[in-house]
Chains A and B, each alone.
Chain A
Amino acid sequence: MTDILVVCVLLALGFGFGTLAERRHYRSIRRREEVLRPMMVFSAKFPPEPERRRESRLVCGSVVISVDYFKAFVAGLRSLVGGRVTSYEGLLDRARREAILRMKEDARDLAPCKIFNVKLETVSISKSGGNALGTVEVLAYGTVVAD
């Protein structure tokens, strides 16, 4: 009986704080994306005008983000029937956008500039061991080339 109660409390906490955290995070992501929009990001390997000498260096941005208890629970239920796991999609979307934003912030001192050869790497560092996603690290890196 107490077990069920604990699970219910955890679910409620996860739902409340998790939804709040996600909403706040998306708001901050949108605001910062707007500010950093002029800095363009490319996955192209070769920047234009290779002959002209410009400042360039490696930039990185990374974030470790975790799902809340409620989302993990919903995903667990979802794995019974299969299909889209929306809660994890949101998690990965937020993590990638945050990593790219941090990479851009790292490059800001060379502005105006562009970032080339951007690579994104996603690693699951879940501690529970099982096949649950839980916690992911996303790393974004590239080379900033001043205009």
Chain B
Amino acid sequence: MLLTNLEGVPGRRVIEHLGLVQGSTVRAKHLGRDIVAGIKNVFGGELKAYTELLQESREEAVQRMVAQAEALSANAVLNIRFSTSSIAQGAAELFAYGTAVRLDDVS
């Protein structure tokens, strides 16, 4: 599965558009990490635990999007966008969407 946020892939041609595919996940921070974050708010600096948490969640959102694309028998997702929104205190939704297509080589 080829993932890109361009509108096309160099050297390849779109032979079929299969529509929008999306994946999302809602994650809550856990208490231990929250306490560490509270301490970090005094000293400043990177919150590695949060960076990892959000990265993992984003990967999961992408995987769900890819699963949808595979179900449509696509071989690429074009024009991928990410969006993050905090929907409640301590919980965030990570959302990924794009266009599933079937690509062919340029002959």
Interface residues of A (CB under 8 A from B): 10, 13-14, 17-18, 21-22, 25, 45-47, 49-54, 56-58, 60, 62-69, 71-72, 98, 116-117, 119, 121, 123-125, 127, 129, 134-135, 137, 139, 141-143, 145
Q: Does B37 touch A at the CB level, under 8 Å? A: yes
B84 touches A141 (CB 8 A): no
State which size class the interface on B falls in: 35 or more
Interface of B is mostly: mixed
Within 8 A of A (CB), among B45-98: 45-48, 50-51, 54-55, 58, 80-86, 89-90, 92
- Docked pose: A126 CA to B11 CA in angstroms: 44
B7 touches A45 (CB 8 A): yes
For the complex with contacts A49-B10, A60-B82, 16 further pairs of A-B residues with Cβ separation under 8 Å are A14-B42, A21-B44, A25-B46, A56-B2, A58-B3, A58-B5, A60-B58, A62-B55, A64-B50, A67-B41, A68-B43, A117-B6, A123-B84, A127-B37, A137-B51, A145-B6
- Docked pose: A18 CA to B9 CA in angstroms: 44
Question: Known interface pairs A21-B44, A64-B46. Does A127 touch B90 (Cβ–Cβ under 8 Å)?
Answer: yes
A125 touches B92 (CB 8 A): yes
Interface residues of B (CB under 8 A from A): 2-12, 29, 34, 37-38, 40-48, 50-51, 54-55, 58, 80-86, 89-90, 92, 105-106
A49 to chain B, nearest CB (A): 7
B4 touches A56 (CB 8 A): yes
